[in-house]
Chains A and B, each alone.
Chain A
């Protein structure tokens, strides 16, 4: 972008300056010279640091390959990111009330956690002490009906956290009941393919079933929201987040092709779910690097040329790992910075974690403050006025390049492994990083304000911190059991039995499970009952899970 002669001059100048700085900073802590993920970070970046980048091929224009500067040509001018605070508390009634409140306050997307995480019902022994914490509890379609009471499914985009197929079927059933064609539904299901399934078409793999069903029946629904956000929150680094996401994305795409689906069509409906961590500059670079890496990967690997298929569209949920129990209002500061990084990185949708999330499920006031944080970033900081406002910044472009290179190398390593080993390797790397991170915090090398520096003895005293976390209500379980019993009483027993049999046959035959599941939930079979049918049909023992049942 600059004349080579000028660049040489700049480089020479920078070298002199760096030597001087090195001398002045002799003895400064080495940690300051790296990003949070451990990438080398120079004290200053100049045009000499981005000389090898070519504007047209490496950056290009928003809305055009390789999408480094954003997937939409018009950026936030024509559509701001969706405000999609995660909600999930108590039974469907409590969550519905919270959702309606937030919609009235300016929330624009639906995102509920807890739906179908467990493979047992609220009246099971396992559910004692669990119902309504860490998300909403769903037993039957009746709960989903309550959850959406007063909410227009066509007016909001729906994000299903967790990839429970029974819950997905309940959403379809509810739409059908309301006379809304599935083609009209806009939303996302958290879904990605993992090893498993019969034959090359992976029959019996629920994740592929969802891909297939959505691709054929739901043109406006994102059939795969590939979540690496939770992996990041388990401790992995920014380049790992990018590499793992691209690995899972490519794996999912390959599985869809093996099932006979069109790569371009599936890729167009694939999206990502990413984190936003503390290192502001690194995070902005991360989103840009991942857009470029993904676009190149889809085009080079899968030969897809439709630009929409090469676009990395993503939702961000800000980090929870970075939040602290100590001095909880400090978390508002952290989340604000995370949200700004996500906006500068070009997120399509966002959820900002609440300051009291480390104490309990957020109170209504805390959830509203998170929504306000998004609104302040959107309306008061000016980030929506210019597309990719940090594009060209020497530091950001250099980091973008570094992250892309590091992630590409790691991706190659993962892809050289057998499938199951690759998935295990990602988990192993993540745990190593989490441990390294905790050791660094304990040693004071990674500063966490209020925890290993700037603590306050008063925090551990009586009455501090002076905030009121939400109290868990043990009565939610009794209420939920009553709801479940009422649904069982009200259902047509014959229809339920037929649906159960039909579901068992579908599992045994390794059919696409979604149609049979739809009938099962429409007959008001509960998630626990469905899980037992599945185990019996596949000959698997009952193993309780509280996370992502039914993939």
Chain B
């Protein structure tokens, strides 16, 4: 009898010893994967070097970099932005002063959907969920005093990502920073917008083209900038499971890889700049296994299906956010505990960059104080908890390794279902993905209402008399008028002929096949507004029509 058989026999004896009591039923993770009550060496599959290896080497299960946080900590990147560029600039300076290490810009809905602040479509939304950016002038103010060769910036922007990227490059030029030195990410992941987030503008085909343009542009000109952050976070927060989040995100990524490859661009030229973004909720093991499984799966598919050869192309680099639907409005300080536990899971899962939400997120934009506490979560994890001192510390855990294998297979199975729909682009266009997520969201809501999915302070352990917290952020009623006035002033002082010329060139380019980035750069440099640029593209390409999904 070899060791495995001996342990299996002993496990059977252990299970028998329990027979006096009720036999232990496997429980399930929130994503539905069942877990056994006990894992032993007999549950660990495969050879160590093949399945795990060392950090920084294929299959990257243990981390994408050889030194991980011992070499460089993850980037502390709190999502922030509200009101006008001045107010957001102040908040960024506050966060950097308090030890944040990267910027993450939240943009208001008009900017995300390609409307100017004075557009009737923008009413009541200017500066509400993020900062309002109309023209290059706003972008300059936003980064006033923040040298772009020293900070890295992430923009949560999709439909108008290419325009914002052009503005960021233009600000760098104005600051005297060479574009090759700027670092950061634009989200630029349109496929998930159609499914879960909703800030799409154009139909699928031209949207993919715009994404391919930015990917190609970054590969050539901005080696330190990620042209896309393929974001599963929104699948998750729309109600998808961890498995769906992982599978649909990878499916999106493969679709983008195919789109760019179809232009005849070698996979190794652009794959190293692809990055990812996810939600981490509070189920620690599900999250750790999810990240480890995705790293291994990505490396394998990129190597075997797409023929990538550079190690950088196989590295699954991701950022994450802790918060969202894992937080509650009830007893909101409980959220500090939740975000902390999610953040720990992210670190144990090997994240490259993290946003920890503030405890009052369910009420309002964070106050300085709640934003600071959110930031401190990451600093305590990094400097006090010791969880970042050794790499992939949960490796070898019988449970975590078995779960990582199981998670990888579940993600693969879901990817096959997407393939059966004709691929991700088709699955999005027909509304299949939307339906899958809605079904899951409904199931979870039913579980919450039935109390089988416990949410502390909501469906169990709730003090109904507990008072809501004080000191919330208050919105500024004069904001929209101020922003419109600035836009008006830019329009009056800019060179009108230059703007008209740039927009005409863009209209022309949009009908053709050449990369649009140089034309977008010309337009933003001339101070054409986000609304004007998006308007031209809308004229040429039309808008996406949402499939009716039930």
The listed residue (A9, A280, A327, A380) touching B49 by CB distance below 8 A is A9
Query: Contact: A372 with B283, CB < 8 Å?
Result: no
Of B183-191, B208-216, B386-394, B476-484, the stretch lying at the interface with chain A is B386-394
User: Measured between C-beta atoms, what is the minimum distance from B332 to chain A in Å?
Assistant: 10
Of A24-32, A170-178, A481-489, the stretch lying at the interface with chain B is A24-32
A381: chain B residues at CB < 8 Å are 282-284, 341
Query: Contact: A32 with B70, CB < 8 Å?
Result: yes
User: Measured between C-beta atoms, what is the minimum distance from A123 to chain B in Å?
Assistant: 37
A20: chain B residues at CB < 8 Å are 66
Query: Contact: A333 with B41, CB < 8 Å?
Result: no
A43: chain B residues at CB < 8 Å are 67, 70, 390-391
Assembly CA distance A75 to B98 (angstroms): 42
Assembly CA distance A417 to B70 (angstroms): 41
A375: chain B residues at CB < 8 Å are 456, 460-461
B372: chain A residues at CB < 8 Å are 327, 456
Interface assignment of B304: CB less than 8 Å from any CB of chain A: no
A365: chain B residues at CB < 8 Å are 466
User: Measured between C-beta atoms, what is the minimum distance from A462 to chain B in Å?
Assistant: 15
Given contacts A45-B390, A61-B10, A73-B17, A391 and B337 within 8 Å (CB-CB): no
Given contacts A279-B386, A282-B386, A393-B400, A14 and B54 within 8 Å (CB-CB): yes
A74: chain B residues at CB < 8 Å are 18, 21, 24, 37
B461: chain A residues at CB < 8 Å are 105-106, 371-372, 375
Interface assignment of B377: CB less than 8 Å from any CB of chain A: yes
Assembly CA distance A333 to B35 (angstroms): 28
What class of interface size applies to chain A in its complex with B? 35 or more
A127: chain B residues at CB < 8 Å are none
Query: Contact: B401 with A392, CB < 8 Å?
Result: yes
**Of residues 303 to 345 in A, which have CB atoms within 8 Å of B's CB atoms?**
322, 327, 329-330, 332-337, 340
Interface assignment of A469: CB less than 8 Å from any CB of chain B: no
Assembly CA distance A387 to B36 (angstroms): 9
Of A152-160, A443-451, A507-515, the stretch lying at the interface with chain B is A443-451
What class of interface size applies to chain B in its complex with A? 35 or more
User: Measured between C-beta atoms, what is the minimum distance from B415 to chain A in Å?
Assistant: 24
**Of residues 14 to 51 in A, which have CB atoms within 8 Å of B's CB atoms?**
14, 17, 20-21, 24-25, 28, 32-33, 35-36, 41-47, 50
Interface assignment of A78: CB less than 8 Å from any CB of chain B: yes
Mask of B272-293 contacts with A, CB within 8 angstroms, 1/0: 0000000000111110000000
Interface assignment of A52: CB less than 8 Å from any CB of chain B: no
Interface assignment of B449: CB less than 8 Å from any CB of chain A: no
B326: chain A residues at CB < 8 Å are 380
Query: Contact: A44 with B55, CB < 8 Å?
Result: yes
Query: Contact: A47 with B393, CB < 8 Å?
Result: no
Assembly CA distance A383 to B27 (angstroms): 11
User: Measured between C-beta atoms, what is the minimum distance from B18 to chain A in Å?
Assistant: 6
A332: chain B residues at CB < 8 Å are 333, 336-337, 340
List 13 other contacts, CB 8 Å, given A75-B37, A392-B40. A6-B49, A21-B66, A50-B396, A64-B17, A74-B18, A280-B386, A322-B384, A365-B466, A379-B460, A382-B286, A390-B394, A392-B41, A449-B376
The 8 closest A-B pairs by CB, nearest first: A447-B383, A394-B396, A393-B397, A279-B386, A392-B398, A379-B454, A332-B336, A336-B337
In the complex, 17 of the A-B residue pairs with CB atoms within 8 angstroms, ordered by the A residue number, are A45-B393, A46-B395, A61-B14, A63-B14, A77-B24, A78-B22, A104-B463, A105-B461, A380-B454, A381-B282, A381-B283, A381-B341, A382-B286, A385-B35, A389-B285, A449-B384, A466-B369
Please report B residues at the A interface, Cβ cutoff 8 Å: 3, 6-7, 10-11, 14, 17-18, 21-22, 24, 27, 29-30, 35-41, 44, 47-49, 52-57, 62, 66-67, 70-71, 98-99, 282-286, 326, 331, 333-334, 336-338, 340-341, 344, 369, 372-373, 376-377, 379-381, 383-387, 389-401, 454-457, 460-461, 463, 466, 471
